[in-house]
């Protein structure tokens, strides 16, 4: 296709750009070519045919367009803080327009008592609205200039603005771009898909996204481009899955042997839940199929995922393979190691722990035993996937606590054996469906949707700091009844020192409220040595202390069924999934448990929303959805995932329906033509190759 060349033209050759702006476009927005500029979409459109009255100005609408007369104009202040204030009048009232820059130019341009069209974003200041730096044009002139009804707004940066590329400036160069490339745009979807979903052709969509003729076409342009974007992501993920299934053989775990049976009959302290049994069956079917398993195991905090994982690891061992479990943090890895070691007590199955702080001598033993096959089970952190760690025969990898291991990281595991190991990814906080489809679209999914019996939902209440005494009173009552209590302080990396001080102050005041010898308190935080940490934890686990004062180090894994109260200080500073994880530490025994969220008196709207969500539901899926809405997908999944979630137009929250269509369509296309070999699908195949040329690390694995 010759036509591609124009689209690939370096951006400096576009009229109105030149070397300086080109440089900035590359640095600030990663726009190198015509095509990339064309795919820089507006984030908002404002209907410039609509006019508001002064009295209608409020904070609900972002941009206002008002017709009125300038009845006063004067300078205020001196020197650098000087500004120009004009008063715009219409029959409903006055509003001030303010300029801090370009004052002289504005004074020249505006004459009193003529009618103007003013357009801008109101600002609420000292009890009233003003409009800083509005666009302003004479009513007559404006008609000519405001050619487009719907004005697009583009994100820009300070640096780009300084070179004239604010939203308006970007629109100007877009005006130069679109006519040049318009006739060279090619279709990327088959006529069948386009007809079925009544999509706008690609060239119409790309033109109208920048210069919409009307709202209706704009909606269709957006829908088309959102669909296209999501469709190709889904296609990539699903194709990856197909290639894997075809080319990658899986280890076959055919027997259930001594390890599994010994554990099941001698050490398993309780009956498995129905959901656990079902999921173990699903996983076992994969492990016996001869195909490599890539499965996502979803289940709320406390639903018993670790056990499911362990039982499958034991099956791997029974079949002569090694298995490992990987956790995102050292503390979590250590806790897994401890709890699994405990569960395997007396069974003569060797297990070790490998983390960043494993001593050289131990590390050497681990490396050695992994290579000669003496070590069947290993628990650890990222340290496990380092190239220096070589297994004799790795058969199963379990990845706990999701989020931080994306497609790319998982791919790295496949190099750990001639035949890649089976992979089980466990997610403690449920992931909203849309995210799961996007981030784990290449995986099969199992869900544990049942809690172990006898669990009562945790009662969650919100208290302001000023009601602290009530909380202390409640704690005393609970301790009297023999319960134990967590008291958690936030720990945020950037202000670690301050947080630690908060924690120590808190510890002191709690010690005063709950004095020895009547009460005993443990304290655990990140600055303690692992030995001290462990000692303090153990005291609490054994019931020797009543209260555990801690930072979020206890977030995951700790398991003390007798602890029935979780008090969270400065709860407004925690994210929703973190709060949910913390709450999951209690409610593990037969007693009614409580989660007490303490906050300062004034909350931000987001903070308030989080507290409200926590108080109103214990359903992890609902919490995950709320979290997604509050934080957005990028933040939720962590930056490592940004490669795949680099979505230009689709919004995983708002576009769930289109995502569903995109996935169904991709499945259908691949079902008929798994490698997109048909003539008909050629355009799809080409576009997929074009899009994925920078993602070779994981998309091309075969």
Q: Where does this chain bind ligand ADP (CB under 6 A)?
A: 270-273, 276, 299, 301-307, 428, 452, 559, 588
Q: Which residue has its beta carbon closest to ligand ADP? A: 304
Answer whether 584's CB lies under 8 Å from 559's CB.
no
Shortest distance in whole angstroms from residue 311 CB to ligand ADP: 10
Structure tokens given for 605: 């709207």
| Residue placing its CB nearer to ligand ADP in the complex, 79 or 269 | 269
Q: In this structure, is the dihedral angle defined by the CA atoms of residues 244, 249, 250 and 254, taken in order, positive or negative?
A: positive
Smallest gap from residue 302 Cβ to ligand ADP (A): 5
Assigned token pair, 276: 């656990």
Cα dihedral 354, 357, 363, 367 in deg (nearest 10): 40
Copy the structure tokens of residue 671.
């079902």
Residue whose CB is less far from ligand ADP, 130 or 306 = 306
Return the number of the residue (375 or 428) whose C-beta is nearest ligand ADP: 428
Peptide bond just before 517 cis, omega within 30 deg: yes
Q: How far is the CB of 381 from ligand ADP (least distance, A)?
A: 17
Minimum Å gap between C-beta 271 and ligand ADP is 6
CB of 266 to ligand ADP, least distance (A): 16
Nearest residue to 74 (alpha-carbon basis) of 99, 39, 49, 55 = 99
Nearer to ligand ADP, 154 or 540 (CB): 540
3-state secondary structure 548-594: EEECHHHCCCCCCCCEEEEEECCHHHCCHHHHHHHHCCCCCCCCCCE
3-state SS class at 217: helix
Tokens of 514: 């709950």
| Residue number with CB closer to ligand ADP (105 or 270) | 270
- Give 80's DSSP letter: G
- How far apart CA 484 and CA 418 sit, in angstroms, is 49
Closer residue to ligand ADP (CB): 180 or 268 = 268
**Which of 308, 354, 350, 313 is CA-nearest to residue 334?**
354
Least gap, CB of 443 to ligand ADP (angstroms): 18
Q: Which residue, 352 or 588, has its beta carbon nearer to ligand ADP? A: 588
| Of residues 590 and 689, the one with the C-beta less far from ligand ADP | 590
User: Least CB distance from residue 366 to ligand ADP, whole Å?
Assistant: 24
E-assigned strand segments in 449-572: 459-464, 484-488, 521-524, 547-550, 563-568
At which residue do the structure tokens 């994981």 appear? 698
CB of 326 to ligand ADP, least distance (A): 14
Helix (H, G, I), strand (E, B) or coil at 445: strand
**CB 437 to ligand ADP: min, Å:** 22
Q: Quick one: CA dihedral 202, 203, 208, 210, positive or negative?
A: positive
Written as six digits, the tokens of 181 are: 């490339």
For residue 689, what is the enclosing H or E element?
helix 682-691
Which of residues 80 and 345 has its CB atom nearest to ligand ADP in the complex? 345
How far apart are CB 282 and ligand ADP at their closest, in Å?
Answer: 16
Nearer to ligand ADP, 302 or 395 (CB): 302
Q: Which is nearer to ligand ADP, 301 or 326 (CB)?
A: 301
Half-sphere exposure of 243 (CA within 13 A, CB side): 14
Helix (H, G, I), strand (E, B) or coil at 125: strand
Bridge partners of 278, per DSSP, are: none
Q: How far is CA 577 from CA 147, 593, 623, in A?
A: 48, 19, 7
| Residue 421 contacts residue 312 (beta carbons within 8 Å) | no
- Smallest gap from Cβ 304 to ligand ADP, in A, equals 3
Give the nearer residue to ligand ADP in terms of CB position, either 117 or 280: 280
Cβ–Cβ under 8 Å, residues 272 and 453: no
């Amino acid at each position: 296709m010759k036509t591609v060349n124009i689209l690939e033209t370096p951006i400096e050759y576009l009229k109105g750009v030149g070397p300086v702006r080109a440089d900035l476009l590359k640095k600030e927005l990663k726009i190198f070519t015509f095509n990339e500029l064309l795919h820089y979409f507006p984030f908002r459109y404002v209907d410039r045919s609509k006019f508001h009255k002064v009295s209608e100005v409020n904070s609900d609408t972002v941009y206002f367009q008002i017709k009125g007369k300038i009845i006063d104009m004067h300078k205020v202040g001196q020197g650098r803080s000087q500004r120009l204030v004009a008063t715009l009048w219409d029959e409903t009232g006055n509003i001030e327009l303010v300029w801090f820059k370009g004052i002289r130019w504005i004074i020249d341009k505006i004459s009193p008592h003529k009618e103007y069209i003013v357009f801008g974003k109101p600002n609420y200041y000292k009890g009233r609205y003003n409009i800083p730096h509005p666009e302003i044009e004479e009513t007559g002139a404006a008609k000519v200039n405001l050619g487009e009804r719907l004005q697009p707004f583009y994100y820009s940066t300070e640096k780009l603005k300084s070179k004239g590329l604010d939203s308006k400036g970007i629109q100007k160069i877009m005006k130069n771009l679109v006519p040049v490339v318009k006739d060279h745009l090619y279709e990327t979807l088959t006529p069948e898909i386009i007809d079925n979903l009544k999509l706008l052709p690609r060239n119409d969509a790309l033109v109208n996204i920048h210069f919409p003729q009307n709202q209706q076409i704009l909606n269709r342009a957006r829908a088309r481009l959102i669909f296209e974007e999501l469709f190709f992501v889904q296609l990539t993920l699903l194709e990856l899955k197909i290639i894997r299934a075809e080319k990658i053989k899986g280890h076959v775990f055919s027997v259930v042997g001594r390890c599994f049976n010994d554990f099941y009959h001698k050490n398993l302290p309780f009956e498995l839940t129905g959901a656990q049994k079902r999921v173990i069956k699903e996983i076992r079917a994969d492990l016996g199929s001869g195909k490599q398993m890539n499965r996502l195991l979803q289940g709320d905090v406390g639903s018993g995922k670790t056990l499911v994982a362990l039982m499958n690891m034991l099956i791997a061992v029974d079949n002569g393979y090694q298995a490992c479990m990987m956790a995102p943090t050292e503390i979590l890895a250590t806790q897994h190691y401890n709890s699994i070691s405990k569960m395997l007590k007396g069974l003569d199955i060797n297990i070790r722990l490998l983390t960043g702080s494993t001593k050289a001598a131990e590390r050497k033993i681990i490396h050695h035993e992994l290579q000669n096959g003496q070590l069947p089970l290993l628990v650890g952190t990222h340290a496990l996937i380092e190239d220096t760690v070589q297994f004799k025969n790795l058969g199963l990898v379990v990845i706990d606590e999701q989020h931080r291991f994306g497609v790319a990281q998982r791919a790295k595991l496949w190099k750990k054996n001639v035949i890649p190991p089976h992979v089980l990814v466990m997610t403690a906080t449920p992931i909203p469906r849309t995210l799961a489809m996007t981030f784990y679209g290449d995986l099969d999914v199992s869900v544990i949707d049942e809690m172990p019996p006898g669990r009562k939902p945790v009662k969650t209440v919100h208290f302001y700091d000023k009601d602290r005494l009530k909380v202390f009173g409640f704690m005393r009552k609970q301790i009297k009844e023999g319960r134990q209590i967590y008291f958690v302080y936030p720990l945020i990396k950037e202000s670690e020192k301050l947080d630690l001080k908060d924690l120590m102050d808190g510890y002191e005041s709690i010690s005063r409220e709950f004095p020895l010898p009547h009460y005993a308190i443990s304290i655990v935080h990140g600055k303690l040595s692992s030995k001290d940490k462990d000692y303090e934890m153990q005291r609490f686990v054994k019931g020797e202390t009543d209260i555990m004062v801690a930072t979020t180090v206890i977030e995951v894994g700790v398991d003390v069924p007798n602890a029935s109260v979780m008090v969270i200080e400065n709860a407004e500073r925690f994210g929703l999934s973190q709060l949910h994880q913390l709450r999951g530490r209690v409610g593990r025994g037969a007693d009614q448990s409580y989660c007490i969220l303490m906050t300062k008196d004034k909350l931000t709207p987001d903070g308030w929303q989080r507290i409200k969500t926590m108080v109103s539901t214990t359903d992890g899926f609902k919490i995950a959805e709320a979290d997604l809405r509050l934080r957005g997908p990028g933040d939720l999944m962590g930056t490592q995932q940004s490669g795949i979630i680099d979505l230009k137009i689709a919004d995983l929250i708002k576009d769930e329906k289109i995502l569903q269509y995109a996935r169904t369509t991709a499945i259908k296309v691949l079902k008929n033509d798994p490698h997109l070999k048909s003539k008909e699908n050629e355009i799809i195949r080409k576009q997929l190759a074009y899009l994925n040329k920078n993602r070779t690390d994981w998309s091309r694995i075969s």
